[in-house]
Structure 1
Amino acid sequence: MLNKLLECLIKDIQLLLWNKVTHSQPYFLIYMILNFLW
């Protein structure tokens, strides 16, 4: 149950990040770095 909630939360955050990414480049770099680290 908790895992499901976490999964949804992570997806939401990723979507938010992605939306910001389309508006500004710095976020895109941060997003790429975070993806690389994980």
Structure 2
Amino acid sequence: MVGQPSAYIIKKLIHDVETVVGKVLEDRSTEAAFWHPDRRARR
């Protein structure tokens, strides 16, 4: 990890993007249903 700072930065960026996308999908249930129909249908 110390020898590859770029890999750490990329990992952090991916994690941040996933967090933001997850929040957006939670806020917009219709989009969440579009991207994850199974989760919505099995309630």
Q: CA shift at 1:19, angstroms?
A: 0.3
Following TM superposition, the consecutive aligned residue runs of length 4 or more in structure 1 with deviations greater than 2 angstroms are: none
Using structure 1 for the length normalisation, give the TM-score: 0.66
Which is bigger in relative contact order (C-alpha 8 A, separation at least 6)? 1
Q: What residue ranges of structure 2 are gaps of 5+ in the alignment?
A: 37-43
Q: C-alpha root-mean-square deviation of aligned residues, in Å?
A: 1.2
Question: How far, CA to CA, are the matches of 2:10 and 2:20 in structure 1?
Answer: 15
Fraction of identical pairs, as percent: 10
Q: C-alpha deviations, 1:1-38, integer Å up to 9, x for none? A: 10000000000000000000101132x30xx5xxxxxx
The count of aligned residue pairs is 29
